Amino acid sequence: MRPGLGAKFTLTVLTILAGTMAVSTFYSLNTSSRFYEEQLVERGHALGGLIALVSPEAILGFDYLLLNNYTREVSSQQDVVYGVIMSPQGTPISAHIKDSDPVIKKYFAGQKSNDIQKLLERLNGRAELIQLEFPIAHNGVLLGRFLVGISRQSLQNEFRRQLIIQVLVLTALVLFLSAAIHVVFRFNVLFPIRKLMAASQKVGRGQYTLVEVKSTDELGMLARAFNAMIEEIRREQANLHRQANFDLLTGLPNRMMALDRIGQEINRARRARQRFAMFFIDLDNFKDVNDSLGHAVGDDLLVATGVRVRATLRDADTVARLGGDEFLVLAPDVVNEAQVEEIADRLIKAISEPQDLNGRKVVARCSVGIALYPDNGESVETLMANADNAMYQAKATGQGSAKFFTEEMNIRLRERMQMEQDLNLAIELGQLALNFQPIFSTAGQHHRGAEVLLRWHHPEKGTISPAVFIPLAEATGQIVGIGDWVLEQAFRSLSSWRDRGISPGFLAVNISRIQFKKRLSKRLAELMSIYQVPSTALELEITESVLLDDHSQIAEELTALRSIGMTLSLDDFGTGYSSLSYLKRFKFDVLKIDRSFVAGLPDSPDDVSLVKAILAMANGLDLRVVAEGVENNDQLSFLTMQGCDLAQGYLLGKPMSREAYLSYLTNLQAGSAALPPSANRNERTIGSSS
Ligand code: C2E
Ligand code: MG
Ligand code: MG
């Protein structure tokens, strides 16, 4: 186990403390022992000085008894081991040895210390003794010497005792101080550090807890800085959470959050054995609002939609913005379809309530797709996909409608996907072909040209109507390649017929809105130069939907088309949106009355007045008019009488294959194909595929 900070700190303090105290103790012991030794020496000197002073008289008087008293007295002193008075020649005159002293015992164990000289020799230089010598003189004559030996034993004993006491005190002190320092360090440093460590580890686990700040010291400052950092992280986290889970514009949960909520709702509903409904709401033609009123108004509409939807629902319901103009509503605990339908109606009504946006009155419409749990799926993905599918079906039905998901929708979706894949290979596999439907002048019924109509001969499904696959190709973008192929085929046909000396009149080609955005004029100019076909040989049929897109871009492209001499025809007139304003804004040459208006002629008063009005207006705007779907002579007579220039329909000729149209043109040119009586007109449309 690695020592912790506390152990390291305490150990360091302990070592320093023990070291300094040991040095100081050693020093003080040394000093005191030196002082004690000096005292011993001083005592020796005092004794020696005294004996040297009193002895001459006894020596001169040969009073050995007195001398013996002196040496005995000296030896009886504490620590004194021996006292000897020597003659100047070195012969002991009087001596007293303390036999009981441990030093004497050590060097003369069991022996009698009678031989003073031998004894002194043995003791000479011993560390245990302080040996002092004093001259005894009288009137300048040396009478003898006094030798005294003082034991250091008590000094050493005292030193040892002191040492033990000091070591014990020192140890106790060091231990106490260490413990005290450790406790202080633990409470003031380790605890706060551990708290910080724990809080930091929690940060690693994504938990952001504040630590208690108790002091104003560096650790307190560190804790405060840590808390500030945690607060900042919390703020950032909250910010990130908002950005990741909420839509910034409407403040509603975003797709991520919506998916999460659906997951939760599935779990809840499964446990509670309940049903819930999921609504996919998509605003209709939201792009138009953006294009015509600007993005700021578009944003306002989205915000307002969010607010309206929220206000329509219960608190327990979830509203989210999935992106763009798509919203999602989750309504938990629904009992039956009628209840769900009622919610959908409320949603549609709330959204379509007229509103004032930036001074403009806007009526938003929406399409709603509904999927029910568990009926239409038990996973987030299935429910989302099915609600989305139902929404597309609602959109196809018409604006402002809601549709429940049905299994049949999925079958249709799968078919659609299969068709999309098949369509990818259709050109390559030669499954696409052009048909031509003749267009006649009503006056005199002369052939003027033909409309080019695309056909898809599917190997399994037979001939698929362009009304089915063109919208699909538009949705997937495949129309760009297909449209270009149609144009090229039309040019090729014109060029080859002209080469054979046949004058085919004009060819009217249908152009999709998607194609229109891809610099169509440039491509047409290119084809005209490749196939050496003049612009008068071609007409472009454009539906009103083209004109819904970005106006400036459309106007620019229309101008470019006019500048290369293209004839522009407005197809399916009357079925679209605000046709009259478009006619005013964009310049067209031809107007095609949709066959739905021709069908009721001449009996339906509505169709009669509508067609009359269109013709009058076209006349005023100097537009040629083609009536589509002319199927009987009554219609033709009416149109002729009302001054409609051109007609197209089964009565005059059905769409026919390229070969059939070529032989039709050849016959026409040979004069054998003057327009026959109406009874057998249909027989002439040989090769018709419709
Ligand atoms: P559209 O341009 O309005 O074409 C006229 C449609 O009316 C054609 O349908 C034609 O066959 C049909 N029709 C003509 N006369 C009569 C009649 O007397 N009675 C009836 N009941 N129908 C008649 P079709 O060929 O099915 O084409 C449908 C639509 O598909 C076209 O409508 C056009 O919008 C689109 N389409 C066809 N070919 C192309 C193409 O090459 N490119 C693009 N973008 N769209 C095309
Ligand atoms: Mg057309
Ligand atoms: Mg049409």
Render pLDDT for 670-686 as a digit per residue (tens, 0 to 9): 876 544 333 333 333 22
In the reported structure, the alpha carbon of residue 629 is separated from the centroid of ligand 3 by a whole-number distance in angstroms of: 9
Q: What's the CATH fold of domain 255-405?
A: Alpha-Beta Plaits (3.30.70)
- Ligand located closest to 656 CA: 1
Nearest ligand (C-alpha, residue 435) = 1
Burial class (CB in 10 A: 0-12, 13-18, 19+), 259: middle
Q: What is the average per-residue pLDDT within 549-564? A: 83
pTM above the 0.85 mark?
Answer: no
Q: How confident is the model at residue 550 (pLDDT cuts 50, 70, 90)?
A: low
| Most ligand 1 atoms within 8 A of CB, residue of 435, 439, 453 to mutate | 453
Ligand 1 atom 25: residue of nearest CA: 453
Quick one: which atom of ligand 1 is closest to the CA of 474?
44
> How many other β-carbons are positioned within 10 Å of the β-carbon of residue 477?
9
Domain over 418-670 is classified CATH 3.40.50.150: no
* Best of 478, 510, 630 for a ligand 1 pocket test (most atoms within 8 Å of beta carbon): 510
Comparing 531 with 515, the larger pLDDT belongs to 531
Residue pLDDT, tens place only, 298-326: 999 999 999 999 999 999 999 999 999 99
* Backbone region of residue 149 per phi and psi (left: phi > 0; alpha: psi in -120 to 50; beta: other values): beta
Which residue has the CA at smallest separation from atom 32 of ligand 1?
A: 467
455 phi and psi, to 5 degrees?
A: -130, 140
3-state secondary structure 198-255: HHHHHHHCCCCCCCCCCCCCHHHHHHHHHHHHHHHHHHHHHHHHHHHHECCCCCCECH
pLDDT at 685: 28
Closest residue by Cα to atom 8, ligand 1, is 453
User: Are the CB atoms for 330 and 317 separated by under 8 Å?
Assistant: yes
Q: Nearest C-alpha to atom 33 of ligand 1 is from which residue?
A: 510
**654 CA from centroid of ligand 1 (Å):** 11
**End-to-end Cα separation, the chain, in angstroms:** 92
Residue 688 DSSP label:
B
Ligand 1, residue 465: give the atom nearest the CA. 26
Measure CA 664 to chain center: 66
- Mutation pick for ligand 1 pocket among 435, 465, 512, 628 (CB with most ligand atoms within 8 Å): 628
Nearest atom within ligand 1 for CA of residue 434: 41
pLDDT grade, residue 635 (50/70/90)?
very high
Ligand 3 midpoint to CA 575 (Å): 10
Displacement of CA 183 from its chain's centroid (Å): 47
Q: How far is the CA of 598 from the centre of ligand 3 (A)?
A: 11
Contacts of 208 (CB under 8 A, 6+ apart): 202, 230, 233, 234, 237
Residue 301, both tokens: 């509409």
* Per-residue pLDDT tens digits for 380-400: 999 999 999 999 999 988 778
What is the predicted pLDDT for the residue at 283?
95
Tally of CB atoms within 10 A around 1? 4
Residue ranges of domains in the chain? 5-157, 208-245, 255-405, 418-670
What is the mean pLDDT of the segment spanning 626-635? 96
Atom index in ligand 1 nearest the CA of residue 651 equals 18
Write out 164-196 in H/E/C secondary structure. HHHHHHHHHHHHHHHHHHHHHHHHHHHHHHHHH
For ligand 2, the distance from its centroid to the CA atom of residue 571, given in whole angstroms, is 6
| 657-671 residue pLDDT tens | 999 999 999 998 887
Res 331 pLDDT > 90: yes
Note the pLDDT tens digit of each residue in 43-73.
899 989 999 999 999 999 999 899 999 999 9
Q: Atom 43 in ligand 1: which residue has the minimum CA distance?
A: 510
- Closest ligand 1 atom to Cα of 648: 15
Q: List C-alpha distances in Å: 485 to 514, 515, 527.
A: 14, 11, 11
Specify the pLDDT at position 676: 39
d(CA 469, CA 456): 8
Buried b (16+ CB within 10 A) or exposed e, 484-504: bebbebbbbbbbebbeeeeeb
Higher pLDDT, 419 or 551: 419
The protein residue whose alpha carbon is closest to atom 24 in ligand 1 is 466
**451 CA → ligand 1 middle, Å:** 8
Q: Whose CA is nearest to atom 37 of ligand 1?
A: 453
- Whether 82 shows a pLDDT value over 60: the answer reads yes
Tell me how far the alpha carbon of residue 434 lies from the centroid of ligand 2, in angstroms: 13
590-593 vs 567-573, strand pairing mode: parallel
The residue that leads in pLDDT, 173 or 609, is 609
Would you say 147 and 131 are in contact if contact means Cβ atoms under 8 Å apart? yes
| DSSP alpha helix (H) spans, 576-630 | 579-585, 595-598, 605-620
Q: Which ligand is nearest to the CA of 593?
A: 3
The chain-wide mean pLDDT, for the chain, equals 89
Contact criterion met (CB below 8 Å) for 52 and 136? yes
- H or E, element range at 85: strand 80-86
Q: Report whether pLDDT(579) > 80.
A: no
Nearest ligand atom owner, CA of 472: 1
Per-residue model confidence (pLDDT) at position 678 = 39
32: number of Cβ within 10 Å = 14
Question: What mean pLDDT is predicted for residues 144-169?
Answer: 88
Q: Sign of dihedral through CA atoms 418, 419, 423, 428?
A: positive
pLDDT of residue 577: 59
Structure tokens at 56: 């001459």
The one-letter code for the residue type at 507 is L
Q: Which of 634, 613, 633 is nearest to 625 (CA)?
A: 613
All residues with CB under 5 Å from ion ligand 3: 571-572, 628
Give the pocket of ligand 1 (CB within 6 Å): 437, 453-454, 465-467, 470, 483, 486, 510-512, 541, 571-572, 595, 628-629, 631, 648-650, 655, 690
* pLDDT per position as a tens digit, 162-203: 888 888 888 888 888 888 888 888 888 888 888 888 988 988
177-181, 241-245, 318-322, 482-486: least confidently modelled range = 177-181
Burial-class residue 13 by CB neighbours within 10 Å (0-12, 13-18, 19+). Answer: middle
State whether CATH 3.30.450 applies to domain 5-157.
yes
C-alpha dihedral over 638, 640, 642, 646, to 10 degrees? 120
